[in-house]
Every structure is written in structure tokens, then in C-alpha cells.
Amino acid sequence: MSSGRVSRHARVRMTAAAAAVCALSAALLAPRAAAADTPPHSETYRAQFHFTPEKNWMNDPNGLVYYKGEYHLFYQYNPSGSSWGDMSWGHAVSTDLVHWQELPLALSHDDKEMVFSGSAVVDENNTTGFGTKKNPPMVAIYTSHNKSTGMQSQALAYSTDRGRTWTKYQGNPVIDIGSRDFRDPKVQWYAPTQSWLMTVSLSAEHKVRFYSSKNLKDWTQLSEFGPAGATGGVWECPDLFPLAVDGDKNNIKWVLVVNINPGGIAGGSAAQYFIGAFDGTKFTAEDNGTYTPPAGAVVQDFEGSDFGSWTATGTAFGPGPAAGTLDGQQTVAGFDGKGLANSFHSGDATGGTLTSPPFTVSSPYLNFKIGGGRHPHQPGKVLADFDGGTYGDWTTTGDAFGPAPATGTLPGQQQVSGFQGSGLVNTFLNGDAGTGTLTSPEFTIDKRYVNFLIGGGNHPAGSADPTALELLVDGQVVRNATGTDTEALETASWDVRDLAGKKARIRVVDDNTGGWGHLNADQIVLSDTQAQPGAQETAVNLIVEGQVVRSATGSDSEMLDWASFNMRPYLGRRAQIQLVDMNAGGWGHILADQFTAADSPALSVLQRAGWADYGKDYYAAVSWENTPGSKRYMIGWMNNWDYAGATPTSPWRGAQSIPRQTALRTVDGRVRLTSEPVNAVQSLRQDPPATATATIVTNTSKALIGPAADGKALDIEATFSPKDAERFGLKVRTGTAGEETVIGYDTTTQELYVDRTHSGTVDFNSTFPGIQTAPLKAANGKIKLRILVDWSSVEVFGGSGEAVITDQIFPDPAGQGVQVFAENGSVRLDSATVWHLDSTR
């Protein structure tokens, strides 16, 4: 049986034990968490103009409805603590979508059920009989999660006092199909049929189902939509609504929002959307046609009987290309021709690499198909990978190391495994009798961690006869690691934050001639991300001058999809392609095919899909019903299930995005869902703003305006005219120790991006640091940005709101600088205005 069979139940997946572990981990990883005597709402990372509960856990927004002058925000809430559990509906109200008043718990869990996500309506005609025509009820439609069976069904509760108190309907559930993955009903009044319309998710099937009712109690199934678009995770929190295209009320299209986790455009959780038509019964998405990738020169298509000039190590890739599905594997699909690279030989337990010969980069893009496991390469500065056939500028003493790295198992040795690439340090050259040292040249510690792979004997530094990997500062051993008397190399890491800026060396020591008197080591890397034991990669990497400069991974699927590397920065340089399988766990394999050099990038299903937001932290996005003027306001949970349980905040965990007004606009010939902050945000602006005069910025980073623009809660508008700079933009929350959040535009890829790699506390989860990108073309030769900066988030709106990136950040409170920058050329900053924002607390 393929280990690719992974169960995903997005809400139920966190057992009480797992939740407790998350809470403990977050506590241990929160060096800047607020002290117990910190005044409420002034804690280090407390949002100043985004909604957060006073305390405890919050996730999905629920029950968004406008009634009698109030916007209601219900939300998934744990009244018992700051980790997921005991799900209930918290409640807040606002008159302007910006200033929120937190109210008492609305719908509580009980002994039988947890109250999962759903929606709320005002039953103006009292179709339910829960109120009167004079005092119509507010009705919540929620998913009831049965605690004893795990089944999910749809249930009702009602309020006749503007949502302040609630009664659960005695006839619950109103829809029960006997499923564990049937959730998140969004209900609205559909005027053409004078009936209620429910949009609800069949999560594991990647489907949305539609139901109709006259009274909210008795429902008739209408149709289903899906699977379509991105399907790398469960579908949740659907929403369906009409919008005018470019403001033309005679041209109405329907938008179906389907939130997905994992498998979003930036990894993990995200809000996907489809545009199409709804006829009262069925939603039909617009057909974008079959995708044809850009033409180019095929580098490797795996159609031969062997790998040709490509070199394999280990056993994972077998003796040659696979013809498709291997024994024990789920059906492999999406590859071209009759062959592909498939590292599932003998299952997920095997490892190895497959490496192309060196070549000179001559095309702007390398396109390829990829599938298999989602275990990304951990970026960093490689101090040594021992793959070059020599030790380079490392120096040796004694006879244990020989003239060059080993290529694997040595004579008389048990099988060596777990190393990467074609070489490693292995001091079993003369059996356990050999001794000696291997020492690196001096380097500066400019990252947070030293990650490495290590195996062999367990004889620590300081013992009589060590076999150890050592970190030396000023000639003294300040860190050391050793094997565990096994030939399997394991991931290990040193936290070196306290040694930042120090000069150091790595030394491998073998002074032992007894049993297990040798050491194995490989992949010594400086990184801002701590290597996670057991989370070794399954990836396709581009290697330039010994460094991994581009990497892609599968999405835990046997379906291959297109991917692309931007090769422009490496034109004329020597490179190699390497397929890596170093994972023996679930989905511990990689699939690849059709490597093609081309002039433009191939687009994956994810890139071709519609995304309401391209950031890491916008999920469970749904919209308000019954709003004045029928405007469509949307809000999302500003978090990601990849790390939601470990974000370093206390005594609360979870925030909502800024509410956004959505529209359909024609952008570059295609109708897109756009969003911009609600107008009420402008009421928070302090006068006067700080303004920048037009200027040319060339190959530098400098203060945008000066201290007047610095701050932790800002609203920034900036317009640029691209010239020849490759990248340009703004840096916010800049401060000591190189902290910064970079909000830029890449002219070579025509993408907006947010880089939070150095945004302060980023090491609580390996998927948190990174760069998020969104396609954005200049309009009339201009790039326009609107940036909302809060104490622990940035929301970036590019162009007319077609490119939006929402990311949490956890910087040092002292880091409040704002800079403008340009890289590899010049850009014209036409204008920039910075407003400090008042707190809504």
C-alpha cells in the first residue's frame, strides 16, 4: 500500500494531546510573550486595528451578517484555552468593520457537540417561526461536530435579541448525510426562487454541494461542484455571491470561494475562488481551456531505458526511468510519454539522488513536471556538501579522512544511508583504526542555526577518544555533536543565535580506534531555519556553484503538475539539476518529468487557479450578508494551519484580517476578484501624514522619509515607475540585528512579493520564514502599493487589488523603520505617503 494515503480532517485532526503539545511548544518558543502583568491589548504582538479576542484561541470567521446597524463577527473560539479545542462561537460587533466590541460567548460547545463553522442570516419573513414579522430572528446555521462519533451535520440556532443570546433548535440536525467531512454551511436568501440557498463543503471529496429550503429546516439537494482547480487539501468554508464586472450591473458573474488546506498557493492554508454562473440550481465555472505549456528544448524526458548521463545514488530511483506506477504505489498520472523519474522503488523507505551533468544556463526558465511528497528543501548557506570530489579548502590531519570525501559505504562497513548527494565525510577509511581531523576555513556566523547530517560512533567531544563534529570559536569548542552508533545519518542542529557575528570553524574529529570509532557527516549548512529531525526533503533542486538556488517539491500527490525555475540570475553560469529523496516517512518520494529549457515559465494548477490572497495568512475567508447597499465585504482568519498552534502570542492566539471590499475587475484581459481595505480604515489615519518627494533610487536601501514615517501601525501608499532595477520596493519594521520585512516588486518575473525571512521571530515552525509572491503587471507603467502594517502583520494590496499578500510577522518592538530600496539598477519613487494609525482598542 502506498504511503501516500494520508487522511486529512482539517478541524478534527488536532486531538486533545496534539493541542496540548502545540500549546506547550508555543509556550517554549515564545521568547517575547507578554508578562502576566502586561496591560490588556498592549502585549508585544497585539494587533492594534485587527480583531483579536482578549484571550484564548480563535480561528475561522463565522456568521457574518449585518443587522440593525451592526456588523456581526462570530468566530471559532476555544473558551478554555489558547490552543484549538472545545470549539464554540465567539462574538463581536462593529458599526464600521474596524472598531470591534467583543461580546460574551454566543454558541457554546457541550457534552455532545462542538460548534464548527457556519453562517448567519436575518429571517426577515420569519420563515422559521423562531421570531415574528415585527421582530425577525437572527438564525445561525452551523456544523455540529458529534464528539462521540466524529460525524458532521448541519444545525440551527436562533436569537431574537440582536444576537446577544441564542437558543439551539430542538429539531437539530437539519441535514445529516452520515459524513465526517460535511461542513461550513454558507446560507443566503435567493430572491429569484424566494428560498434559502445553502453552499456547503464535502471537504475530503473536494466538492461543494448546494441545497434549497423555504424555512431553513427542510432542505432539498440541488447540485454539486468539483473537484476543480487546486485540490491538494480539504475544501472548507465555501461562499457564493454575485458581483458586477467592472461595475456594470448588466454584467453579473458569480464568485464561488473555496478555502483549501493544505495546498494553497503559498503553502498550507489559502482562499481559492472560481468565477462563473449560477442559475439557481447549479454553479458553472468559466472554462479556461486545456493548458499548453511554453515550447522549449527538452533537457530530460526520461524516455530512454536508462538515465543516460544523469547519475543516481542510493536505490530510490532504480536503474532507470519508471514506466509509471510502481509496486505498492497509488496510480501515478500527469507525466508525459512512457517514462518518468520515480523514487518509490521499494516504497518510501529508500533514499537517493538523481543528478544531471553540469550545464551552462542559457535559457530564462527551466520548466518541468513534479509530483510526490511535500518535504521542501531547507534553504541556507552550505558550508560543505562534500559532493565535489575533494575537500576543497578544508584541511585534514591523520589518516581517517583520505584525500577526498567518501561516496557512500566503505569496505568492511555496514550500509551507510541518509547522506545527500554524491559524497560525505566517512572516517571508516581504514576501519575504526584510522584517526585524524578535518577542519573548515573560518566563516562568520550570520544565520541562526548550523544544520547538518551526522552518523557513526557515539563518542562526544570532551571524552577520552571522541568521534565528534565540533563548532570552534576562538579555538574553543562551543558546540559538538556525535553519532548514535549507527551508519544512518540523522538531521541535527545547533542554535547559534548567541554567537551572531563571531568567526568560527567546523572541525570533524576522529580520535577513537575502538568499536564505532568513526564518524559520518554531510550537508553542513548555515540557516535561519532549524532543521527538523525526520523532515528530510523530497525535492527537485537547481544547484549553482554548489549552492541550492531553486527548489520545488510535490504536494503529497501522485499527480504530476508543471513547475518552473527562473534561471535569469544564473545565465552563463554552470548548474546542475538534482532530484533528492531523503525521506523514509509518509509521501517520502519524488516524481519528475519533462525538464525543458524555455523562454517563459510553465504555470502549475496552483498558479492558474484564482486566489483571493497570495500570502500565507488568509484562510476561511467568507463574506457578510445583508450589508447596506449590498456591498460585498470579506474577512479571513489571519493564520495558517501549518503553524497556527505555535505562533508566539499570549494570552490570545489568532487574529482576523482587515475586512475587505471585493469587486470583479478586468485585469490584463481576464476577470479577477480584487479586494481593498474597507474605507473605514482611513478614519484611523493620524494627521499630518509623512510624505516623500519623487526621487530616483539606485542600488541602495535608505530611509523612506525619516523618523516621521517609522512605526508599528502604519497605512502606506506608494507609487513606483520601474526603470532598470531588478527588484524594488519598501522595507518595513526594520531594526537591529538585520530584522526587516521586505515588500517588493520583481521586474524579471512581474511579481509582487513579501519576504519575511528576517521578520523577527521566525523559527517556531520551519514553514514560517520564506517569500510569498503574487503576479502583478504594471498599469500605465506604474506599480502601486497599499500596505497596512500592524504590530504583528502586513497586508499588501498591489495594483487595483488584484495582487494581495497577507503575512503575519513577529518583529522586535524596537524595529519600526521604513526604507525604500532598489536592487541591480534604478527605480523612480513617484510618491509615498505614510499615515500612523490609531489603535481601535
Q: Which residues touch 781 (CB under 8 Å, ≥6 apart)?
A: 721, 722
Give the residue among 632, 666, 658 at the shortest CA–CA distance from 797: 658
Angle 70-71-76 from CA coordinates, rounded to 5°? 130
User: For residue 734, what is its C-alpha cell?
Assistant: 526594520
Give the residue among 76, 62, 231 at the shortest CA–CA distance from 644: 76
Contact 88, 77 (CB under 8 A): yes
Give the residue among 600, 615, 547 at the shortest CA–CA distance from 575: 547
User: For residue 791, what is its C-alpha cell?
Assistant: 504590530
- Do the bridges between strand 88-94 and strand 100-107 make them parallel or antiparallel, or are there none, so unpaired? antiparallel
Q: Residues with catalytic annotation?
A: 60
Q: Which residues touch 342 (CB under 8 Å, ≥6 apart)?
A: 317, 318, 321, 322, 324, 326, 329, 332, 372, 589, 591
Give the residue among 813, 655, 723 at the shortest CA–CA distance from 61: 655
Rg of the chain on CA atoms, in Å:
28
Q: Which amino acid is at 746?
A: D
How many of the other CB atoms lie within 10 Å of CB of 95? 12
Longest alpha-carbon distance in the chain: 93
DSSP structure string for 348-377? TT--EEEEPPPEE--SSEEEEEEEE--B--
Q: Which amino acid is at 126?
A: N
Contact 256, 285 (CB under 8 A): yes
Angle 408-411-417 from CA coordinates, rounded to 5°? 30
Contact 372, 333 (CB under 8 A): no
User: What is the Cα–Cα distance from 227 to 562, expressed in whole angstroms?
Assistant: 19
Query: What is the SS3 assignment for 560?
Result: strand
User: For residue 662, what is its C-alpha cell?
Assistant: 471585493
Give the residue among 605, 582, 594 at the shortest CA–CA distance from 377: 582
User: For residue 276, what is its C-alpha cell?
Assistant: 462563473
Task: Write the DSSP symbol of residue 730.
Answer: E
User: What is the Cα–Cα distance from 112 to 100, expressed in whole angstroms?
Assistant: 31
User: What is the Cα–Cα distance from 823 to 35, expressed in whole angstroms?
Assistant: 41
Answer whether the bond into residue 40 is a cis peptide, omega within 30°.
no
Q: Which residues touch 329 (CB under 8 Å, ≥6 apart)?
A: 2, 4, 342, 344, 558
- Quote the distance between the C-alpha of residue 290 and its chain's center: 27
Grid-cell match 502583568, residue found = 37
Answer whether the bond into residue 405 is a cis peptide, omega within 30°.
no
User: For residue 165, what is its C-alpha cell?
Assistant: 443570546
Contact 335, 592 (CB under 8 A): no
Contact 207, 227 (CB under 8 A): yes
User: What is the Cα–Cα distance from 146 to 63, expressed in whole angstroms?
Assistant: 20
Handedness of CA 697, 701, 707, 712 (dihedral sign): positive
Angle 156-160-164 from CA coordinates, rounded to 5°? 90
DSSP strands (E only) in 79-174: 88-94, 100-107, 113-122, 138-146, 152-159, 167-168
Task: Write the DSSP symbol of residue 392.
Answer: T
